Chains A and B, each alone.
Chain A
Amino acid sequence: METWQSWLPAIVIFIYLAIVLYIGIFAFRRGKETGEDFFLASRSVGSIVFFLALFATNMTSFAIIGSSGMSYRTGIGVFGMMATSSALVIPLTLFFIGTRLWAVGKRFGHMTQVSYFRDRWECSEIGTFIFLLTAAMMLPYLIISIIGGGTILEALTNGHINYAIGGAIVALVVMGNVFFGGLRGAVLVNVFQTILFLGFGLVAFAVIGHKIDFHATTDRLMNTPTLAPLLNRAEGAGGIPPGIPKLVFLSYMLIPLSSIMFPHMSIMCFTAKKVTAFKKTVVLYPLSIMLIWLPCCFLGAIAAGQPQISAAMAGGSEALKTWHENPTKDNEPLLFRDFKSNKIAAGVALEEELKNAKELPTPEEFAKKLYPVVHAVPEKSPAYKLLTRDVRQLASSNSDSVLLEMLKLNVPALLAGILAAGIISAVMGSDCHQILAMSTMFTKDVFDYYGGRKAFGEKGTVFMGRAFIIIVNLIAYLVALKRPPIFELAVQYAFSGFAALAPVMIAALFWKRSTKWGALLASLFVTACVIVTGILEVKYRPARVPSPVDIHILDLGSHWVLFLNKAGQLRVLGGWMTVVPMVIGSGILMILGSLISAPPSHRTIDRYFSTKRTAGTGAPAAATIG
């Protein structure tokens, strides 16, 4: 039976959301009424706030919910694969690219990547194309945030606030913060959020570690052959768990190149008051990544050694809900079929009880019912192995809820609420910036640029910017209602595409000879790759159900050129991720396209690469950007 205490975590979250909205309104009152203040906080962000805001901008629900969920399914290798590669590559891109972006913004008033590319390559169309490409690839990122928010609120309230409403609440609060406060509001909220979610990692680890014996849990995992590989990166028997192939691990070194190319990250680079703000940022970044990712990946993986948590995750799975709404033989979970085939009377009785219940019990109540049934079966029997596998399979389909279930089962309700606010901080911190970046890009690079401001004035610009936010949010929300898995979605379509655009930015900043044709060729190549990846995956594995074998698409003799792995992801040349040929191809086309076309004018080269003194000001030499 539920008590009011079960609502405590949700109450804490609502207080948190109210604070976020208030900060946005506070920022609105303190802001100046100019475009540069609304979109870039007048380029006045100090160094500590800059670091906290930039970090929050980059961390999404993917960093907490996606990572822990994937660690539950795949193991601790997620930490090395994604987190620590980011810990090195992202600060390096900030050091080399971020600082230069800041300088071109400071000197020439650029507010977006597109504005810079247009001026750098003397071409408006390249900017428009890159706007369309980056906006399309940003959409999955917006979707991730809404999924994260909906998942958290649904799990925290045991479904009283369902996923659809939870996602809508998060989307509306973020929109409110951005509408009122602009970037200043987003940055102020980020300070609050970053402290909260960095604190989350440490506190969750300590508190859960106090309740769960980590040593005993890892011992248990190591002594269970089907679960032991979760503590390393090797593939388990029969591909369960899947492990992490070495070529995939190596490929992931290129994924963090996407960070600086995300519009909301590059726009943040323009906001620093001084370039020296980047100094603290690049040094603190790797440590901050460790603080948030290590607890999430470790806790996600060892949750597999906590049967009550797996049972609770199974209790919240979509498969169970779908079966309960309309029980048929086809959608009956394997767990219930195996109860019958192994003549486990208590299990069969549980299935009947659930079938006849008006509504499913909460995940925690389901776990309390299921756990004794499964663990009454002798541990060494084949039936026990089968049933624990079935529970894990159900739980894996709901793996994004692993951290929340760990909190609910092991931590007092009030603290669980505060920690959940830490999780939702990561979700919303970057969501504010993503939405604002989309609005800035549309308003500055499309509407204003093509005469909208001349025709409709400043009020028209504001109206269009806000209307664009609503439309994009609505589209993202409608897609989020389908609940695609967070991690795989992000990597496939957003990260790889943006990473492959990094050569374009590097060429713009450092190579005088780069031209608009090189940039266009590279961008078209990236677009084609993203589309082809999607088409091949849908064509060859439409259901996206794991397969026992890889599916060959293109072979050259005995060499696999293109294939879908067992999880339905496109791989190239023996097992590399698509990001590798995409980045290499983009770089090559950038170079070739530039070399076969006419260079930019001397005026533009001098503008961006000259070291002559600025005439008439007595100021030091105009900063060489390259």
Chain B
Amino acid sequence: MKWFLLVLTVALIVVHQDFWNWAKTEPRLFGYLPVGIWYHAAFCIAASVLLWLFVLLAWPKHLEDAQREDGVAREQTPMH
């Protein structure tokens, strides 16, 4: 599953470099948003989906159990 997420991440990095859109303005979304803007807006949505998959499939659950270790000094001295 982690390999799948890695491949997706690399794919997203690759499609971010949309060199094929470099000198293009058309097609314009809603008649005014250039392709260089709406393509990357779609990229943001895809990034959000990717991170959701990371949370779903690769969440570091073991970190949830982190507790303050015995013997570690805590900052309790008054500041004022």
Contacts and interface: CB of A to CB of B under 8 A. Distances in A.
A246 B70 contact: no
Given A36-B76, A76-B36, A232-B22, A623 B12 contact: no
Contacts of A529: none
A95 B47 contact: no
6 contacts: A34-B79, A36-B76, A92-B54, A107-B69, A283-B52, A624-B62
Contacts of A581: none
A282 B34 CA distance: 27
Contact of A92 (B24, B35, B51): B51
A35 B75 contact: yes
A487 B5 CA distance: 33
B72 A108 contact: yes
A198 to B, nearest CB: 14
A232 B59 contact: no
B40 A79 contact: yes
A217 B16 CA distance: 27
A289 B36 contact: no
A303 to B, nearest CB: 14
A215 B32 contact: yes
Interface residues of B, number: 54
Interface string B1-41: 00000000100110011110111110010111111110111
Contacts of B65: 619-621, 623
Interface of B: 9, 12-13, 16-19, 21-25, 28, 30-37, 39-41, 43-45, 47-48, 50-52, 54-55, 59-60, 62-70, 72-80
Given A36-B76, A84-B47, A286-B45, A275 B36 contact: no
Contact of B79 (A250, A275, A458): A458
B37 A286 contact: no
Contacts of B31: 214-215, 218
B78 A33 contact: yes
Interface residues of A, number: 71
Interface string A582-609: 0000000000000000000000000000
Contacts of B32: 214-215, 217-218
A36 B18 CA distance: 46
A614 interface: yes
Contact of A107 (B24, B33, B66): B66
Nearest to A276: B64
B63 to A, nearest CB: 5
Nearest to A213: B32
Contact of B74 (A77, A83, A109): A109
Contact of A298 (B33, B54, B72): B33
Interface in A527-557: none
Contacts of B17: 246, 249-250
A34 B34 contact: no
B22 A91 contact: no
Contacts of B77: 34-35, 458
A246 B69 CA distance: 49
Interface of A: 33-39, 76-77, 79-80, 83-85, 87-88, 91-92, 95, 99-100, 102-103, 106-109, 111, 214-215, 217-218, 222, 228-229, 231-234, 246, 249-250, 253, 274-276, 279, 282-287, 289-290, 294, 297-298, 458, 461-462, 614, 616-617, 619-625
Contacts of A102: 63, 66
A120 to B, nearest CB: 14
Given A35-B77, A79-B36, A294-B41, A279 B55 contact: yes
A80 B36 contact: yes
Q: Across chains A and B, which 10 residue pairs bring their CB atoms closest together, nearest first? A: A214-B32, A290-B44, A234-B23, A286-B47, A35-B75, A36-B75, A231-B25, A623-B66, A103-B66, A80-B40
Contacts of A294: 37, 41
A477 B42 CA distance: 39
B22 A246 contact: yes
A461 B13 CA distance: 46
Contact of B63 (A91, A99, A218, A617): A99
Nearest to B64: A275
B46 to A, nearest CB: 8
Nearest to A457: B77
A102 B60 CA distance: 12
Nearest to B22: A233
A305 to B, nearest CB: 11
B9 to A, nearest CB: 7
A218 B28 contact: yes
A100 B63 contact: yes
Interface centre among B9, B12, B31, B47 (most CB of A within 10 A): B47
Contacts of A284: 48
A595 B45 CA distance: 41
B4 to A, nearest CB: 15
A454 to B, nearest CB: 12
